[in-house]
Structure 1
Amino acid sequence: MSAREIAERVADPELPMLTLADLGVLRDVAEAADGSVTVALTPTYSGCPAMAEMRADVVRSLHAAGYADVRVTTVLSPPWTSDWITGEGRRKLAEYGVAPPGEAPRGPVPLTLGGVRRAVPCPRCGSRDTEETSRFSSTACKALWRCRACSEPFEQVKEI
């Protein structure tokens, strides 16, 4: 199995139903002629606490597959956007009961005080009759929502 195939299978530590490839944070995997491997990751946001665990998991997986010389670099430009989550990743999030993000805003984002946000469909029953209960969840990149139709709480990955 190639180094890329191995790295693509590493699970995200905060959203374990997704791989780093599904999440779109796996930017590149390069195998050199001398057998060394360099993996490039982009954090979902500046200061993402999961980066250290992502790096360690990638190194551990590649070492276990026989790659002795592994380096993981952090790539900050261009910055990660939730648009990089693959279609498969979005499907897995919804299947797991986490609402996938909508399309990230383009260009200037208007500042509103208590403005209207888009309806987030419930990943369990599909209803759009939902309400945000907390702007932050178990991680800064997720929010807590509740479905008024089926009364189920759920998380939503924010658009970034």
Structure 2
Amino acid sequence: MQPGDLIASDLGARAAAPGDLDQAWQVLGRVMDPEVPVVSVVELGIVRALAWDAGHLHVVVTPTYSGCPATEVIEADIRQALEDAGFRAPQLERQLHPAWTTDWITSTGRERLLAYGIAPPLGSANKRSLLGDNGSVNCPQCGSAHTELLSQFGSTACKALYRCCDCREPFDYFKCI
């Protein structure tokens, strides 16, 4: 490196243009969760904040839980989508505190989960939910409240496996956390 050379993190640094943050939110609204590909990272509430910092877009991301195996894939997808949209060297910050909660899933995200066949979380991430008192989990296929818990763990750690006693279809329930 020679005096005056740019360091890699300064590559592509520029002043923020009007509409940059709105455009970035729109781009991220099209980045889908790899485990539930009908819900965007924005609808899941894992993109916490966007800001312009030192000439780059700064993105704060909170994974659904600290051990989520898709975290690196999600961050790579976010970075790639932003770079493809013209944001040079976006800076991603993984923020674990406060921990992500299903309360951050948007209403559109909840509707998309249901349409995909996953029962969205009921209520909020309160103590009763965490202790398994979820009330009635309706079947996303037929709407019946006559369902039963088969396993506290479904296809991923953040889901439980249920079965509808009426239509007999198994389904995932996105647990309140």
Which residue does 1:18 correspond to in 2?
Answer: 39
1:25 Cα deviation from its structure 2 partner: 0.6
- Alignment counterpart, residue 84 of structure 2, candidates 64, 67, 81: 64
1:133 Cα deviation from its structure 2 partner: 1.1
Cα-to-partner distance string for 1:30-67 (whole Å, 9 max, x where unaligned): 23473x11111111112111110110000110111111
Moved over 3 A (4+): 108-112
Aligned residue pairs: how many? 156
- State the AA in 2 paired with 1:11: M
Say if 2:156 is the partner of 1:158. no
Distance 1:130 1:73, change over 3 A: same
Q: Which runs of 5+ in 1 are unaligned?
A: none
Q: Which runs of 5+ in 2 are unaligned?
A: 1-19
SS of 2:138's partner is coil
- Alignment counterpart, residue 92 of structure 1, candidates 89, 112, 116: 112
- Alignment counterpart, residue 127 of structure 1, candidates 139, 144, 147: 144
Which residue does 2:49 correspond to in 1?
Answer: 28
1:28 Cα deviation from its structure 2 partner: 0.9
- Aligned 8 A contact 2:122 2:134 in 1: no
Q: Distance in 2 between matches of 1:33 and 1:145?
A: 48
Distance 1:109 1:152, change over 3 A: closer
Aligned-CA RMSD value = 2.1
Which residue does 2:16 correspond to in 1?
Answer: none
Which residue does 2:68 correspond to in 1?
Answer: 48
Q: TM-score, normalised by structure 1?
A: 0.89
- Aligned 8 A contact 1:82 1:103 in 2: no
Q: Distance in 1 between matches of 2:109 and 2:129?
A: 29
1:124 Cα deviation from its structure 2 partner: 1.0
Which residue does 2:24 correspond to in 1?
Answer: 3
SS of 2:28's partner is helix
Greater Rg by CA: 2
Q: Distance in 1 between matches of 2:45 and 2:130?
A: 28
How high is the sequence identity, in percent, across the aligned residues?
Answer: 45
SS of 2:73's partner is helix
